Structure 1
Amino acid sequence: MSDAPGLTVEHVRGTVTVVAVTGELDHHSSPGLRSGVLELVRGGHPHVVLDVSGVAFCDSSGLSALINLWHNARADGGSLVLCSVPGRLDRLLRMTGLDQILARASTVEEALAGHPALRDADGPG
């Protein structure tokens, strides 16, 4: 993941990984986002919580990367949750209808607290 600028793996627990994304999601950075996160998904961490609080800009290439990650995570039996979505990105997701497809949480903590893969890993509660 070190060759994917703007991505930081913040937390790994079981099959769930938190990845913080910073900067712009555009045609220059989207391939790095895709390859970095897909490396995690295919490496046994198919449940990804993507902290996008540090995303300053997102264009159609960025949206395409998010859709691609969602499809790939699901294909590997996982999930993608966006959290801490900034206002501009939130509006873009709503305008394109992606807010109906991509799961979102207010914070990383909220995403992890309600994550089914973590509940299943912890056993009966």
Structure 2
Amino acid sequence: MKIPVLTVTRTPHASGATVLTVAGELDHHTASEFTDTLRHTPFGPGAPVVIDLAQLDYCDSTGITVLITAHHQAEATGSRLLLTGLRADLAHVFGIVGLDQVFTFRPTVDEALEVLAS
């Protein structure tokens, strides 16, 4: 049996944004690692957050819940939150459950940072 692995890398950007790069499997086994990272990520009006999902291989309902928690954290603090790199299969799932109406998506981190700069 394969043990799910998730890595989350937090990188501050010169613009004041924080980029979280999520790689591996985001599920009930690994969600706590991402939740801990979010807990220690600065959110606020001058501190937007970009979550890069380009290296995310799998996301279950628990993972989606963590992403929704990030959305709530951003709303509560007046921070902007953008998701990038969503693969077609995950974008389809997000569309089915209506998350395409909740999140702002951009294809790449660079494009998200450009949006935040404007």
Letter in 1 for 2:33: G
- The structure in which a higher percent of residues are helix is 1
Give the equivalent residue in structure 1 for 2:96: 95
Q: Shift in Å at residue 10 of structure 1?
A: 3.3
Q: Structure 1 residue 29 and structure 2 residue 30: aligned?
A: yes
Output aligned runs, 1:1-125, within 5 Å: 5-41=6-42, 46-115=47-116, 118-119=117-118
Percent identity over paired residues: 32
Q: Count residues in correspondence.
A: 113
Show structure 2 runs of 5+ residues with no match.
Answer: 1-5
- CA 1:43 to 1:95, structure 2 compared with 1: closer, same or farther past 3 Å? closer
- CA 1:80 to 1:18, structure 2 compared with 1: closer, same or farther past 3 Å? same
Give the equivalent residue in structure 1 for 2:3: none
Letter in 1 for 2:59: C
- CA 1:28 to 1:46, structure 2 compared with 1: closer, same or farther past 3 Å? farther
Letter in 2 for 1:65: V
Letter in 2 for 1:84: G
State TM-score, norm by structure 1: 0.81
- CA 1:44 to 1:13, structure 2 compared with 1: closer, same or farther past 3 Å? farther
Show structure 1 runs of 5+ residues with no match.
Answer: 120-125
Q: Shift in Å at residue 38 of structure 1?
A: 2.4
